[in-house]
Amino acid sequence: MQQRVGFIGLGNMGGPMAANLVAAGFAVSVFDLSEEACKALAEQGATVADSAKAAADSADFLISMLPAGKHVAGLYQGDDGLLSLLGSSTTVLDCSTIDAQTARSVGEAAAERGIGFLDAPVSGGVAAAQAGTLAFMCGGDAKVFETAQPVLDVMGRASFHAGPAGAGQVAKACNNMLLAVHMLGTCEALAMGEKHGLDPERLSEIMLASSGRNWSLEVYNPWPEVMEGSPASNNYQPGFMVDLMAKDLGLAMEVAEAAGVDNRMGQLAQSLYSEHQDAGNGTRDFSSVLERYRR
Ligand code: NAD
């Protein structure tokens, strides 16, 4: 029998994720506050529901992809929240990037009601959402993670069970803090070499064959024209926006603080990205932070 998916939040990421589920043969019922976003999905074969509640009705899987923790808490918790309506036959995945504390609280409240719930944030941007090649990092019960595989497999190329409720958001915060740090380090090293007359392309080759090798250098080189197809070679069109990196670093600071971890590298990255954002670069790709070093 055709399985039913409710999908709430059809923005830059949720839209293509829901479209991939339609294309894979699921009966997808969608809801977004934006009529335009709903219309786009209707054109791809989804059924538009007139509320989140209606989209969730008798769904085998319910997926949400919303901006922040307050939207997720508002959707699931409270007297009118979806947790009070869902039954144990629905497996819920919140794929939004939100604070770990809210994810833990919603996940635990769901578990108390016998509802299978995962915090399942993603790595990979809009292009990966379109291609169905996202990486999912999931927090929640291991059995629920297994149950969710059919939808995770359609939307992504890799999915990981990170641990209990909230662990997916912690993993995402760790990853993106590290991403910010190695992007900044890569920009600094390339700019330093270039100021001494080295060719950034040759320096990149040298570091790629040496111990400085890292993802920012290898697949996302921040120097224009070093790598064909990179945001840097396309006037820093995103890609992954500075605004989103700033948001993720804010969440990472909360995760570090809650654990009392010395995260001065992360703090410095947050401060540098925040300056770059304040200078009017919020909607540009995060590798544009290279320009700070070239001035
Ligand atoms: P977006 O702003 O494009 O989309 C969010 C959608 O949610 C909007 O269409 C909005 O109308 C809808 N929405 C908000 N509140 C709602 C509610 N109560 N009910 C129904 N719909 C509601 O955002 P996005 O770029 O799709 O990002 C979604 C999440 O994914 C964020 O948490 C973001 O941090 C994360 N993320 C984004 C990227 C990226 O590259 N864009 C990459 C990885 C993770």
* pLDDT of the residue at 125: 87
Give pTM, 2 decimals.
0.96
DSSP secondary structure code for residue 160 in this structure: E
- Determine whether 53 is an active site residue: no
Q: Is the CB of 55 under 6 A from ligand 1?
A: no
**CA 124 remoteness from chain centre:** 7
Q: What's residue 295's pLDDT?
A: 81
Task: Compute the distance between CA of residue 157 and CA of residue 270 in angstroms, rounded to an integer.
Answer: 29
Predicted local confidence at residue 1, as pLDDT: 83
CATH architecture of 4-164: 3-Layer(aba) Sandwich (3.40)
Instruction: Please give the CATH architecture assigned to the domain spanning 171-294.
Output: Orthogonal Bundle (1.10)
pLDDT of residue 242: 98
Count Cβ atoms below 10 Å from residue 154 Cβ, excluding itself.
Answer: 17
Distance CA 3, CA 5 (A): 7
Q: Among 20, 30, 66, 106, which is best to mutate for testing ligand 1, by the most ligand atoms less than 8 A from CB?
A: 66
Give just the sign of the alpha carbon dihedral 117, 118, 119, 124: negative
Q: Taking the mean position of all CA atoms in its chain, how far away is CA 66? A: 10
- Ligand 1 centre to CA of 147 (Å) is 24
**CA pair distance 212, 185, nearest whole angstrom:** 10
Task: Return residue ranges of the chain for CATH 1.10.1040.10.
Answer: 171-294
Residue-by-residue pLDDT tens, the chain, 295 positions: 899 999 999 999 999 999 999 999 999 999 999 999 999 999 999 999 999 999 999 999 999 999 999 999 999 998 889 999 999 999 999 999 999 999 999 999 999 999 999 999 999 989 999 999 999 999 999 999 999 999 999 999 999 999 999 999 999 999 999 999 999 999 999 999 999 999 999 999 999 999 999 999 999 999 999 999 999 999 999 989 999 999 999 999 999 999 999 999 999 999 999 999 999 999 999 999 999 998 8
How many whole angstroms from 202 Cα to the centroid of ligand 1? 39
pLDDT at 78: 85
DSSP-derived pairing of the beta strands 156-163 and 134-139: parallel
Ranges of H-type helices in 24-148? 35-43, 52-56, 69-76, 100-112, 126-131, 142-147
Looking at residue 79, its pLDDT comes to 87
Per the omega criterion (within 30 degrees of 0), is the bond before 250 cis? no
Q: Tell how far the Cα of 201 is from the centroid of ligand 1, in angstroms.
A: 36
Beta strand ranges found along the chain (DSSP E)? 4-8, 27-31, 47-48, 61-64, 91-94, 116-119, 122-123, 134-139, 156-163
* Cβ neighbours of 196 (radius 10 Å): 8
Protein residue whose Cα sits closest to atom 23 of ligand 1: 11
Q: Which structure tokens are listed for 131?
A: 């291609």
pLDDT value, residue 99? 97
How many CB atoms neighbour CB 279 within 10 A? 11
**Which protein residue's CA is at the shortest distance from atom 30 of ligand 1?**
96
Residues 6 or more apart whose Cβ sits within 8 Å of residue 142: 161
132 within 8 A of 157, measured Cβ to Cβ:
yes
Copy the structure tokens of residue 29: 């019922």
Our answer on whether the CB atom of 75 is closer than 6 Å to any ligand 1 atom is yes
